[in-house]
Structure 1
Amino acid sequence: MTPQGNATADTMAPATPGSARPSSTWTGWGQWLALVTMTVDHLSRYIAPEAWDLGWAGSSIGRIAFPLFAAMVAWHGLFNPRTPLRYARRILVIGLVAQLPYMLMPRASDALILNICFTLSLGLTGGVWLRALPARLATGTLGQPRLVAEAAIALGVWGVAGLWVEYSHHGLLMIPLYMLAMQYLHLAGDTLADRLKAAAMALPVLVVAGLMNSSDMAKSFTVATCLAALLLAAGAHRLAPAVPTAMPRRLWLTWYPGHFAAMALWLWLAGQLG
């Protein structure tokens, strides 16, 4: 939940040596949009009375938040490759802090679900592992037996974790697929073959985004958000102006657990929590 901290001041490393450095200015806007849409989703789901019939808000505005968070996390993991695992640990810590108030939210099922930070942290870890594979294979530091063992462990973790985390197995795939697509889109040349290859790498992200939701409205908003993020990687990032007010770092780090704690307190005062 902490893409780049202060996005406007972030220094992005190139995806590969010699590639142009992409601008991360857009993430300043992305941070505000992600927090607002996430909060709208949660307020309409947990706080608003059923009589208000605000389910449409969660199926539209609320479906922007997760693909946008995932896009910013993938952007950081791809273009700032010196700190991705430390970044994944930071997201995990936020998830641990937020888990208790998150579990207090009223749900249709009593099954234990880990909040979105676990999805983002595990997804980034998987994306970092996948991205390092070609270099490890090329340098001979990863033999076939170890590759098979690591792949089996990764599939096992994905299979088990997908049963427990928010957005399930599809959610865990978003960041690795984003990273793959963003890298190809960012480095694509001017030839038709290069552009077709980059477009093909972007398709899995859009497919998985569509599979994450059931209603047509939710699918449309999720896929549109992913498409916008992919266009940014393809070069639209150059067009983003600086955000007038940068997201305060403390607000960015504390909003996710804090807003769940505030909603839990409200529900308790309203007598809706046991």
Structure 2
Amino acid sequence: MTQAASAALAPPRPASTWTGWGQWLALVTMTVDHLARYVVPERWGLGWADASLGRIAFPLFAAMVAWHGLFNTRNPLGYARRILVIGLVAQLPYMLMPRATDGLILNICFTLSLGLTGGTWLQALRERLARGALGGPRLAAEAGLAVAVWAAVGPWVEYGHLGLLMIPLYMVAMQALHGAGDGLGERLAATAMALPLLMVAGLMNSSDMAKSFTVATSLAVLLLAAGAHGTIPRVPLAMPRRLWLAWYPGHFAAIAVLLLILGQADFP
């Protein structure tokens, strides 16, 4: 089958209106998480916010990056580089946060950028295998290198090895669910492709509450990929692009200044 014929048979690109809502929800839940973790005194008893609302942000960010990388951009590696630039800008204010662990940890943008890079490689690998354009030795070499990079980078990024898997698994599941036909067999096969993502989402946290919020967020996005995307209206107030790009490093800088003013700073 030619590339043009394959494109003609592919399902239409899904609606992305849900990401307008997702942007606001991700920023709000991330900010609640960081305020509860770094600013609010423990005696206030708001740890539940970190273990509940705070567990929505990362799977939602990962889902939006995977969705745009899979459906909305012709250059996902360029998209990954743009996320990396935000991560570089955010790293210094991120390092000013009081950390529970010692050592250098790269912020979530590095996790998202590397995850998208891995997911893009995986999608290209599947296409080459389908065309018969990849021999066994080359496949083994590429897979071995990918695993080695994943193992080496995992301890240095936020959310670790499991976090790096989220975007590649999202992309596999989204593509399967969106492309599945109406037959029972196809739908069951697509559902099976989503199970690894839900398993990783459940393993990312220790408490039952945190697991529940992370898995529920991931499941909601998978339902969107399965067809619910068409039911979501546009957000009344679109996220300003500059706010979206600046909030991650900016809110860390604001928290650092606030801690200094309150005399609660305990920076490394």
State TM-score, norm by structure 1: 0.92
The one-character-per-residue Cα deviations of 1:204-259 (angstroms, maximum 9, x if unpaired) are 11100000000000000000000000000000000001100000000000000000
Instruction: Report percent identity of matched pairs.
Output: 75
Counterpart of 1:27 in structure 2 is 19
User: 2:168 corresponds to which letter in structure 1?
Assistant: P
Moved more, 224-233 or 132-141: 132-141
After TM superposition, give the deviation of residue 41 of structure 1 in Å.
0.2
1:87 is the counterpart of 2:87: no
* 2:241 is equivalent to residue 249 of structure 1: yes
Q: Quick one: distance in 1 between partners of 2:207 and 2:266?
A: 29
In 2, distance between residues paired with 1:215 and 1:103? 26
Unaligned 5+ residue runs, structure 2?
A: 1-5
- Structure 2 counterpart of 1:222, from 198, 214, 217: 214
Shift of 1:144: 2.4
Number of residue equivalences: 260
Q: How many Å separate the matches in 2 of 1:53 and 1:105?
A: 20
The gaps in structure 1 that reach 5 residues or longer are: 1-14
Question: Which residue among 58, 64, 69 is the counterpart of 2:50?
Answer: 58
1:36-55 matches, within 5 Å, as 36-55=28-47
Pairing 1:143–2:135 present: yes
Q: 1:172 aligns with which of 164, 179, 198?
A: 164
Please report the RMSD computed on the Cα atoms of aligned residues, expressed in angstroms: 1.4
Instruction: Find the partner of 2:254 among 241, 262, 265.
Output: 262
Structure showing the higher helix proportion among its residues: 2
Quote the offset at 1:16 in angstroms. 5.2
**Residue 126, structure 1, aligned to residue 118, structure 2:** yes
Q: Partners in 2 of 1:64 and 1:174 — Cα distance?
A: 13
Secondary structure of 1:71 counterpart: helix
User: Do structure 1's residue 234 and structure 2's residue 226 form an aligned pair?
Assistant: yes
CA separation of 1:53 and 1:216: change in aligned 2, threshold 3 A: same
Matches of 1:67 and 1:21 in 2, distance apart?
A: 22
CA distance in 2, matches of 1:143, 1:195: 30
Q: What's the TM-score, normalizing by structure 2?
A: 0.94
* CA distance in structure 2 between the aligned counterparts of 1:221 and 1:140, rounded to whole angstroms: 41
2:193 maps to a residue whose letter is: M
Which of 167, 171, 175 is equivalent to 1:183? 175
Among 93, 115, 122, the alignment partner of 2:107 is: 115
Measured after TM superposition, the shift of residue 140 of structure 1 is 4.8
**Alpha carbons of structure 1 residues 244 and 218: separation in structure 2 relative to 1, 3 Å:** same
Q: For the residues of structure 2 that align with 1:32 and 1:217, how far apart are their CA atoms?
A: 22
Shift of 1:138: 3.9
- SS of the equivalent of 1:163 reads helix
2:134 aligned counterpart, secondary structure: coil
